[in-house]
Amino acid sequence: MITLDTIREIILALPGTEETSSWGNPSFKVNGKAMLFWNLEYGCPVFKLPFEERDHLIELDPDTFFTTDHHRPYPMVLARPDRVDVEWVRANLMRVWRDQAKKTVVKAWDAGR
């Protein structure tokens, strides 16, 4: 089971990330751009990913991944915390971080690993 604390630990270990609040929900940003939201209404994380990938995940595993009328117009997917795989979460967050962090920060991170 993925929790907000687990997500917090994963994201805040990445350089340049910060925890913020969006519409009263916990959220995380890097370089001023949102990485992830925790939707309090549904009690679950909302991940960024391309529309095609979102639709594929929902079709492939609707017990884990879903969307709502509110989220449908955005490249995001909601995931049930008791079903989503923590390694998938890590991979998604790393990909989003790499896409949105400053390239110099990503380069320094890679060099230090």
Tens digits of per-residue pLDDT, 12-59?
A: 999 999 999 998 999 999 999 999 999 999 999 999 999 999 999 999
Closest CA to 11 of 31, 35, 43: 35
pLDDT of residue 48: 97
pLDDT at 111 over 90: yes
Whether the CA torsion 89, 35, 14, 18 is positive or negative: it is: negative
Query: Residue 34 burial (CB < 10 Å; 0-12/13-18/19+)?
Result: middle
Q: Provide the residue ranges of all domains of the chain, joining segments of one domain with +.
A: 4-102
Across the range 85-97, mean pLDDT stands at: 98
Q: SS3 sequence, 93-106?
A: HHHHHHHHCCHHHH
Supply φ then ψ for residue 37, to 5 degrees. -120, 150
| Mean pLDDT, rounded, of the chain | 97
In CATH, what number does 4-102 get?
3.90.1150.30
Across the range 47-75, mean pLDDT stands at: 97
Whole-model pTM? Answer: 0.94
